[in-house]
Amino acid sequence: MTASKSSRARNARAGAQAAARNAAKGGSAVKNGSAARTGGAGTATRDRNGRDQARNGAARTGAARTGAARTGAAARAPRTLEVRDEAAERGPAPWLQITTLVLALAGLGVSIYLTIAHFTESALAGCSESGLVNCTKVTTSPESYVFGIPVAVLGLAFFVFAVAIMSPWAWQSARREIHLVRIASMVVGIGFVLYLIYAELFTIGSICLYCTSVHAIMFVLFVLTAFAAAVWGLKPGVPWKLIPARQSG
């Protein structure tokens, strides 16, 4: 009886020890599995981080290359500088401005004299009164009036305007309208001169030296104005322009 109890006690202790050993082995296996899984996840995370860093590095390198390419293209591109063009600001050549102003003043002077002679009915100094050159015949003919206004008065008004439009201030103006009005007035003036020349030669049959001098002045003004428009344009007073900058190296 006593021997049986002792055997059963030893067996129980042996079973408990075996169970304890099995439990310890199971815990180690669980721990090893968890560690393996944790280590695998950490490795995968590190791999993904490495790939992301590689991609970011490649993107930064590409951006740097693109920036360098843009910088090089900007350096190679031609640059321009805005500079003051003093020649353009002054308008046409000074000789043309002075010549047109002097001609306009001369035309104004002759027109004033013709207007005074018309209203005072006095003979024009130095002008013949017979033959082809007959100033009185021309200045007293019906063709010396246009719409009831004496041609001398129309000429006076035109040359008052011409003096203003041919002044250096008007030539150097940056307003396009002034230059358009100038050339338009010259076209109208030369057209009227052609009509008067036709009337003198084919209707009246005589010419007036003073009138002819005004016609000549008008013709020269027309030619110079057209020349200025062709060479300097209709807005010669533009003060700025763009020129290429010098490339260094």
| pLDDT per residue of the chain (249 residues) written in tens, 0 to 9 | 444 555 666 666 666 666 666 655 554 444 444 443 444 445 555 556 656 665 665 556 554 465 545 555 444 555 544 444 454 456 789 999 999 999 999 999 999 999 999 998 888 888 877 778 898 899 989 999 999 999 999 999 999 999 999 999 999 998 899 999 999 999 999 999 999 999 999 999 999 999 999 999 999 999 999 999 999 887 654 443 444 545 444
Residue-wise over 211-238: b if at least 16 C-beta within 10 A, else e?
bbebbebbbebbebbeebbeebeebbbe
For helices 176-198 and 151-165, what crossing angle results, to 10°?
Answer: 150
Question: pTM for this structure?
Answer: 0.60
The H-or-E segment that residue 4 falls in is helix 2-76
Q: Residue 99: what pLDDT?
A: 97
Asked if 163 and 170 count as a contact pair (C-beta separation under 8 A), the reply is no
DSSP string, 9-25: HHHHHHHHHHHHHHHHH
Return left, alpha or beta for 163; rule: phi > 0 is left, psi -120 to 50 is alpha, else beta: alpha
For helices 209-232 and 176-198, what crossing angle results, to 10°?
Answer: 150
Distance CA 210, CA 125 (A): 10
Phi, psi of 208, deg, nearest 5 = -115, 130
For residue 198, CA distances in Å to 22, 112, 204 come to 138, 23, 9
What are the beta bridge partners of residue 82? 242
Closest CA to 165 of 151, 152, 177: 177
**Would you say how long the chain is, in residues?**
249
Asked if 211 and 200 count as a contact pair (C-beta separation under 8 A), the reply is yes
